Chain A
Amino acid sequence: MIISPESLAILGGAIALAGGLTGSSIGVGWAGSPAVHTLTEDPGQLRNVIVLVSLPMTQTFYGLIVLILILTRVVPNIAAMPDPGGSGFAVFACGVIAACAEAFSAAYQGAICGSGISMLPKTKGAILTNAVMLAVFVELLGVLGLVFTIMALTMLGLF
């Protein structure tokens, strides 16, 4: 068969990492445009700008964790089943959880970091701590996406 349950499970892992990469690209882009304008006004803020711009990149690694878990544990589990049935599509469904969580949390973390970056010259860099704190709330949703994907895979007995 052209599309086997294992390959559908791999698509589930791949879509999780693709969501992470998509969200990180959008997030770093959304934070990067205000960063250029901030550096135009005050080039001394480069260090704070780099800290805030790199925050949305973490979601890529959550997506990578999901991909590696699926490739190393779930795919061999499915391959060992005598009749996998819909298991491959179930893993794809769990991958969609992670993909949406990582894509949207990274993109909107970029929006928060971009707002923080535009406030850096006005506050002489003091906004950094508060901006990082607000960005951590969005980061939490990315972590929850990873945890709930693993939870769903465990409840299905595929992990």
Chain B
Amino acid sequence: MTIGAESLAAVGGAVALAGGLGGAAIGMAIAGYKGVATLAEQPQYLRSVIILAAIPMSCGLYGLIVLIIILTVVVPKIAAMPDPGGSGFAVVACSVIAACAFAFSGISLGSVCGSGISSLIKTRGQILTNALVLAVFVELIAVLGVVFTILALTMLGLM
């Protein structure tokens, strides 16, 4: 067969990483153009701008974690099954959880960090801590995406 259960499982991992990279790219762009406007006025806030603009990148790393877990643990397990049946498609289903979580939390992280960057000048850099606290709330949803994907794979006995 052209599309085996293992290759469908690999598609699942790839979808999770693709969602993470897409969200990270859009989020960093949203935060980045606020950063350019802030640096045009006050170049000394470069350090705070770099910290806030780099936060959405974490979603790409979470996607990489899910891909590595699927490729190293789940795919060999499916390959060892005598009759995998719909297991490959079940892994794709679990990866949709991760992909949606990473893509949308990356975009939201970008908008929260972007608001923080535009407020840096008015607060003389004091907003950095509060903006990081609010960004952690969105980050939490991306972490929940990793945790729930692993939970679903474990409940299905694929991990």
Chain A residues near B94 (CB-CB < 8 A): 10, 14
Chain A residues near B141 (CB-CB < 8 A): 21, 24-25, 28, 57, 60
Given A1-B85, A33-B111, A40 and B123 touching (CB < 8 A)?
yes
Name the segment of A64-72, A125-133, A137-145 touching the other chain: A64-72
B5 within 8 A of A: yes
Chain A residues near B3 (CB-CB < 8 A): 2
Instruction: Contact check, B90 vs A6: say whether CB atoms are below 8 A apart.
Output: yes
Instruction: Contact check, B112 vs A29: say whether CB atoms are below 8 A apart.
Output: yes
Instruction: Contact check, B145 vs A21: say whether CB atoms are below 8 A apart.
Output: yes
Instruction: Contact check, A36 vs B144: say whether CB atoms are below 8 A apart.
Output: no
Cβ 8 A contact of B115, one of A22, A33, A71: A33
Instruction: Contact check, B130 vs A39: say whether CB atoms are below 8 A apart.
Output: yes
Instruction: Contact check, A3 vs B86: say whether CB atoms are below 8 A apart.
Output: yes
Given A24-B141, A25-B107, A72-B155, A3 and B89 touching (CB < 8 A)?
yes
Given A32-B135, A36-B127, A36-B130, A71 and B156 touching (CB < 8 A)?
yes
Footprint of A on B, CB under 8 Å?
A: 1, 3, 5, 8, 85-90, 92-94, 96-97, 99-101, 103-105, 107-109, 111-112, 114-116, 119, 122-123, 126-127, 130-131, 133-135, 137-138, 140-142, 144-145, 148, 152, 155-156
Footprint of B on A, CB under 8 Å?
A: 1-8, 10-11, 13-15, 17-19, 21-22, 24-26, 28-30, 32-37, 39-40, 43, 46, 49-50, 53-54, 57, 60, 64, 67-68, 71-72
